[in-house]
Structure 1
Amino acid sequence: MSAPVGGALGALYPFLDDRPTDLDAVLAAVAASTAEKTAEIVALRESLVAAHGQRLVECAHRCAAAFRAGGRLYAFGNGGSSTDAQDLAQLFLHPPGAARPLPAVSLTQDVALITALSNDVGFDVVFARQVAAFGRAGDIAVGLSTSGGSANVLRAFAEAARRGMLTVGIAGYDGGPMAESEAVDHLFVVPSASVHRVQEAQTTVYHVLWELTQQALAGEL
């Protein structure tokens, strides 16, 4: 039988604590926390309309032009941003409903390649080497980073820019080094210090970009 959970840990996980618990108080605290976080992400997403609305439209037009010319989209990021990169690529390649499928690849999905490069060369090159191998002028590189400072994402942007690719950055906080990089053509920053809120809002950003790109390709934007 496991030992009782007490102290700070017990406060975090009251259902594991063997001491008497005020269930109503716990449920009220959970409800209040949920409402607070929901309000935060709603307000943050609404703020992105004014901050990025027109620039998302401009970026979507450039993405649409790239796809019309036969370009491909390459997405990349680390940790939670790697799953977002995979989601982004899948959204473009296997869209819902009757939307137009577009060629897109996540550079985070080949574990053998990523571990080989990390072991033999260095983790900083895991995306740049793939961009160098697959990317060509007119393709699209989309990099995600909550901090804006991921070294391997920045190196991939530098390689993409050298190859004449359209580069799109999605970052959090104040944009970090990504905001200072001349290799990023379009940058969308989610101004929050919470990693959770940043990643939730970044999902909104790239879904809107996908939708606007679909509209641009259909001549509706």
Structure 2
Amino acid sequence: MERYIRAQIADSAATKQAILENQELINTIMNVAKACVEVYRHGKKTLLAGNGGSAADAQHIAAELVGRYGFDRPSIPSLALTTDTSNLTAIGNDYGYDKVFSRQLEGMAQEGDLFIGISTSGNSQNIINAFESAADRGVTTVALVGRDGGKMAAMADYAIIVPSNATPRIQESHILIGHILCDIIEKELFGGGVA
């Protein structure tokens, strides 16, 4: 069992090492961070969505921004579209599950906002539909995905593709990337910036 545990940790570390060594991916993360900062400097907000574990990641990232990440500062507007069970069940019942996020964006997204869609496969239909709604409203889109990026990578303004086919490794890397974004946003807006 100890060998198995060590192998799991080593596999997770190898995925993160692959991210660290991929300059193009690092550049994309940097560009997404800059885009987020600009969204906030223009008085706009971020919206996030995902399914299952990716829903939890969307909520986690939004909570870090609205609450705090590393230090006390004013709240930063961010909304996970996965948290309102009345919206999710009403939209799912009336329009179908594939519309649960796009319908919310139709009502809440404004031009200049930024939407982060999270999916390990990059092929979640409800996120694909959300990207279409976001594009119609002048909302910048970010695909936080894995594997080959799926359909979402081709649709998004920015695609952060974790170099792994394993769902657990992709999800672990997604929250690392989410934390990096929160850290940069917070420091750029309220902490004197990052080097």
Query: What's the TM-score bracket when you normalise by the shorter of the two chains?
Result: over 0.9
What is aligned with 2:114? 140
**Structure 1 residues without counterparts, runs of 5 or longer:** 1-29
For residue 59 of structure 1, the aligned residue among 14, 22, 32 is: 32
**Poorly superposed stretches of 4+, deviation over 4 Å:** none
**Structure 2 residues without counterparts, runs of 5 or longer:** none
Q: Is the 8 A contact 2:120 2:167 kept in 1?
A: yes
Q: Quote the sequence identity (%).
A: 34
DSSP 3-state at the match of 2:21: helix
* Mapped partners of 2:39, 2:4: distance in 1: 43
Q: Is the 8 A contact 2:19 2:26 kept in 1?
A: yes
How far the C-alpha of 1:213 sits from its partner, in A, is 2.1
How far the C-alpha of 1:99 sits from its partner, in A, is 4.9
* Mapped partners of 2:17, 2:179: distance in 1: 14
Q: Is the 8 A contact 1:57 1:212 kept in 2?
A: no
What is aligned with 2:153? 179
- CA offsets per residue over residues 18-74 of structure 1, 9 Å max, x none? xxxxxxxxxxxx111110010111111121123321221121111101101111111
Aligned Cα root-mean-square deviation (Å): 1.4
For residue 214 of structure 1, the aligned residue among 164, 186, 191 is: 186
Q: Which amino acid aligns with 2:26?
A: G
Larger radius of gyration, structure 1 or 2? 1
What is aligned with 2:15? 44
| TM-score, normalised via structure 1 length | 0.82
What is aligned with 1:3? none
* Mapped partners of 1:180, 1:219: distance in 2: 31
- CA offsets per residue over residues 97-141 of structure 1, 9 Å max, x none? 425431011100011111111111111110001011000011110
Q: Which amino acid aligns with 2:103?
A: R
- Write the mapping of 1:32-181 to structure 2, written as runs, cut at 5 A: 32-51=3-22, 52-100=25-73, 101-181=75-155
Q: Which amino acid aligns with 2:63?
A: Q
Give the aligned length.
Answer: 190
